Chains A and B, each alone.
Chain A
Amino acid sequence: MTALFDYLLGLGDDALVAAQRTAEWCARAPQLEEEVALANVALDQLGQARAFLTYAADLEGAGRDEDALAFLRDEHEFRNVQLVELPNGDFATTVAKTLLLAAYQNLLYTRLAQVAEPRLAGIAAKAAKESAFHVSYASVWTVRLGDGTPLSHRRMRDAVEEVWPYTHELFEPWAAPEAGLDPAALRGPWLEVVGRVLGEATLTRPPDGWAATGGRAGRHTEWFGPLLAEMQYVHRAHVGARW
């Protein structure tokens, strides 16, 4: 398949898996407002995933649709980064994951909105606005917890440190000619955004140590299989079912 197909799978899978994982907070969040907010973040990600995967399926022209791509591929065929498949952990871990992912997605989508390929640019322009809300939501909580009590500070700090090794994968070489973008070029602006939020939260940026890798090539963490099993079960148990 073309490089653009693979690229769209990566964009779509990042959003799809982030949506599925974030939506696990439904009926489990610490308070109603946060539950609604997290559900809306997940819903935005799901909408982005649908747009990218539908585009990928149209491009492939092999009779697959967004559902076939989401529910009928196996683990090694998914192109998402490992960051989005990590367990939710406590609320601070979810906030850290949301901040680090959304800051990247916002920068990426903002640039993709400028590319010449009209369908990619159109989806990205819409998605960029949505991810700006996610950055703002996660930033507020990072600051509130980081600059809060000694306990909340410790847990927010631990969360950022735990998730940090999984952020390097976001900036690995991965491209399609239509996107014309080197992900490594996003890391500087990303560090600036993330660094500003961490600073306000009285947290320091963790040192760069080991780096998770392999998601874009279909190598995933031990947590990914159970997520897929839950997400894909109904579709596979009731083949061809319609509402």
Chain B
Amino acid sequence: MVKSEVEAAVAAVLDPELQMLSIGELGMLREVSVDDDGNAVVTVTPTYLGCPALELIKADVAAAARAAGAADVEVVVSMSPAWTTDWLSESARAKLADAGIAPPGRVSLPLLQPGCPRCAFPETTELASAGGAACMALRLCPGCGEPFEHLKAH
């Protein structure tokens, strides 16, 4: 019973860079286990090896697990298998688009260019390969003339 509560609580922890998404929706949460004494082990996969938000996410996960009743919490960072944007849920993609961030295409279709998240204009151009976060590119929509961020397929 504690396990399901801990699992729900840590899955709902918000990503510090993409605050419209939880780490559950991002596909960063790999495994939650709780032993008989209520000690939880939470395994997460970072989106980027150097993701500066990882330390904060680990602290938030530990706090959420404790608040849900875990006695002690260990957060394990697992690199393998490597995280991919393909693990983003459909609801996560929709939330990104609602927030004005073009969701990533499929890794297997790297040439698929993102359309404008505001006006749906299909052909947009890249302004900069890195945006406000390592995982973002900055693009421009010739349709509405607005720049927008794009979560790169990865």
Contacts and interface: CB of A to CB of B under 8 A. Distances in A.
Contacts of B48: 43-44, 47, 126, 130
Looking at chain B's contact residues, the main secondary structure is loop
B80 A125 contact: yes
A43 B82 contact: no
Contact of A48 (B50, B81, B82, B127): B50
Interface residues of B, number: 23
Given A51-B79, A123-B79, A36 B128 contact: yes
Given A44-B50, A48-B49, A37 B82 contact: no
A47 B129 contact: no
B140 to A, nearest CB: 12
Interface string A34-61: 1011011001111110110000000000
B151 to A, nearest CB: 13
Nearest to B55: A243
Contacts of B152: 133
Which of B49, B81, B128, B152 neighbours the largest number of chain A CB atoms within 10 Å of its CB? B49
Interface in A137-157: 137, 140
Contacts of A127: 49
A18 to B, nearest CB: 12
B38 interface: no
Q: Which 10 A-B pairs have the closest CB atoms?
A: A47-B50, A122-B80, A47-B49, A33-B128, A122-B79, A126-B82, A37-B130, A40-B130, A125-B82, A43-B50
Given A37-B130, A50-B50, A119-B79, 10 more contacts: A36-B130, A36-B132, A40-B130, A47-B48, A48-B50, A122-B81, A123-B80, A125-B82, A126-B48, A130-B48
